[in-house]
Amino acid sequence: AKKELEEVVDFLKNPAKYKALGARTPKGVILVGPSGTGKTLLAKAMAGEAKTAFYSIAGSEFMEMLVGVGAARVRDLFAQAKKNAPSIIFIDEVDAIGRMRSVGVMGGHDEREQTLNQILVEMDGFEPNTAVLIVAATNRGDLLDPALMRPGRFDRRVVLDLPDMAGRKDILAIHAKGKPFVLGTDWDKVAKRTVGFSGADIENMLNEAAIQAARENKKEIDMGDIEEAATKVKLGPEKKRLQTDLDRKMTAYHEAGHALVNYYSPHLDPVHRISIVSRGMALGFTMAQPEKDRLHETRSRLIDEIAMTMGGRAAEQIIFNEMTSGAANDIDQATRIARYMVMEFGMSDLGPINFGPQMDVTDWGKGIMEQQQISPEMMSKIDVEVQKFIHEGYKKAVEVLKKHRKELDKIANELVKKETVESEEFEALLGGPKKKAA
């Protein structure tokens, strides 16, 4: 991503070099990536590096109740940018106005469409090699109108992924400046601990660690503060809920079920922490820590993931001969994994067929006409395959927990006593580190 954007900056700094060779410089660059990966920061850095004027606006700022206001704002913004060229126009959350047209609930003539049409008109009206660059950012690139993405408009699409191990270490080094950490802080361990964190998450984590240390009147920030902050960033703050002894015991067995199935599933990342302390909407949690960045998923690992996810429900039924609502999120997660396996990854008996992405109810930008049509008969077959995967995972969870019932009791009792069990304590209870897949 950095190299692509450096090249775009060079277009603005040295346009004559490209003009002499008859090259057409890009009119637009779209930055696609999850929230917190630095899209806005990169756009500002591009303007600073190229020493150009910078105009920033969010996609939602174009939208007003009065029809025509959004289009007028687009015309004014582009006129100002042309007047002060070379310049960069940055449109954040472009999906607010750039979603696919004529598939919304309101039809094809709403204010959003007029605003989008005006942006397309302005971009098409640029003279060749006009020193105005449009940079747009979105975390939902799949919802954008194809007309925006064609050559001559947004020529470059730059994907900003979550940072890898090396990237997280660099981000940690930047945000650790000015904060007193204890001597010998293991930053490699912190970088491993933060797999799946965005740059914004990492900054927030170190800030929360500093607040945690100050709350306890410490002079320096230690690994305990960082660990607590990382958990808080991902799962939310602790909640002091009054629970009956039975509730605590049920939660302890539920989390112990997750952890024990994980331990005996060689394809899964090792357990990092188990707790029956409430956070967010959860009564407890079992956290696994990836040992490295994962680039792809395997069928074996996903089946193990379903088994681990259903381990809590399996433990409830084995110990209490009862089902609770505490497994609702687990069931939802297991179902999502199974649906991905069937509908997108081609891992079921239906064969290597892609039925299109799963739709959330919030995906209004993708209309019915854009979706792959699936017959009722095929949907029934898909449901059967999804059930097979979930039942396979649940069966494995039950087998593991019944076979290792004494260990299940041991972990649950430790959780009732201590509330939180770290990875070293967990592995000591089970006789050592988990065995990994060959």
**DSSP percent split of the chain into helix, strand, coil, nearest 5:** 55, 10, 35
In one-letter notation, the amino acid at residue 67 is V
422 and 349 part of one domain: yes
169 and 316 part of one domain: no
Most distant pair of Cα atoms in the chain: their distance: 79
DSSP letters spanning 212-259 = HHHHTT-SSB-HHHHHHHHHHHHH--EE-----HHHHHHHHHHHHHHH
309 and 203 part of one domain: no
CA atoms of 265 and 263, how far apart (whole Å): 6
Domain final residue, candidates 197, 219, 235: 235
Domain final residue, candidates 235, 259, 280: 235
The answer to whether 247 and 320 are in contact (CB under 8 A) is no
pLDDT of the residue at 212: 93
All residue ranges of the chain with pLDDT < 50 are 103-109, 361-370
In one-letter notation, the amino acid at residue 414 is E
pLDDT of the residue at 114: 78
pLDDT of the residue at 370: 47
In one-letter notation, the amino acid at residue 302 is L
The first and second tokens of residue 319, run together, are 């110990």
Asked whether residue 434 is assigned to any structural domain, the reply reads: no
* Residue that the structure tokens 């065995």 belong to: 435
Catalytic residue among 113, 255, 407, 414: 255
Closest CA to 269 of 436, 84, 77, 67: 436
pLDDT of the residue at 364: 41
* Residue that the structure tokens 């040992």 belong to: 291
pLDDT of the residue at 106: 46
254 and 351 part of one domain: yes
The answer to whether 47 and 6 are in contact (CB under 8 A) is no
For the whole model, what pTM was predicted?
0.74
The CATH number of residue 295's host domain is 1.20.58.760
133 and 208 part of one domain: no
Which residues, 6+ apart, have CB-to-CB distance to 413 below 8 Å?
252
Which residues, 6+ apart, have CB-to-CB distance to 56 below 8 Å?
40, 43, 44, 90, 92
106 and 51 part of one domain: yes
Domain final residue, candidates 126, 159, 192: 159
Q: Could you confirm whether 255 is annotated as catalytic?
A: yes
Asked whether residue 17 is assigned to any structural domain, the reply reads: yes
108 and 209 part of one domain: no
Enclosing domain of residue 30: 2-159
CB atoms within 10 A of CB 29: 24
37 and 124 part of one domain: yes
Asked whether residue 437 is assigned to any structural domain, the reply reads: no
The CATH number of residue 227's host domain is 1.10.8.60
pLDDT of the residue at 104: 47
Distances (CA, A) of 438 to 194, 290, 347, 432: 25, 16, 21, 18
The CATH number of residue 77's host domain is 3.40.50.300
Asked whether residue 438 is assigned to any structural domain, the reply reads: no
227 and 242 part of one domain: no
Asked whether residue 283 is assigned to any structural domain, the reply reads: yes
Q: For the chain, how many structural domains are there in total?
A: 3
pLDDT of the residue at 102: 55
pLDDT of the residue at 398: 97
Distances (CA, A) of 360 to 124, 201, 378, 380, 418: 34, 24, 20, 19, 39
pLDDT of the residue at 128: 62
pLDDT of the residue at 101: 61
323 and 248 part of one domain: yes
Asked whether residue 263 is assigned to any structural domain, the reply reads: yes
Asked whether residue 436 is assigned to any structural domain, the reply reads: no
40 and 55 part of one domain: yes
340 and 407 part of one domain: yes
Closest CA to 193 of 234, 162, 230, 220: 230
- Helix, strand or coil, per DSSP, at residue 428: helix
* SS3 readout for 132-159: EEEEEEECCHHHECHHHHCCCCEEEEEE
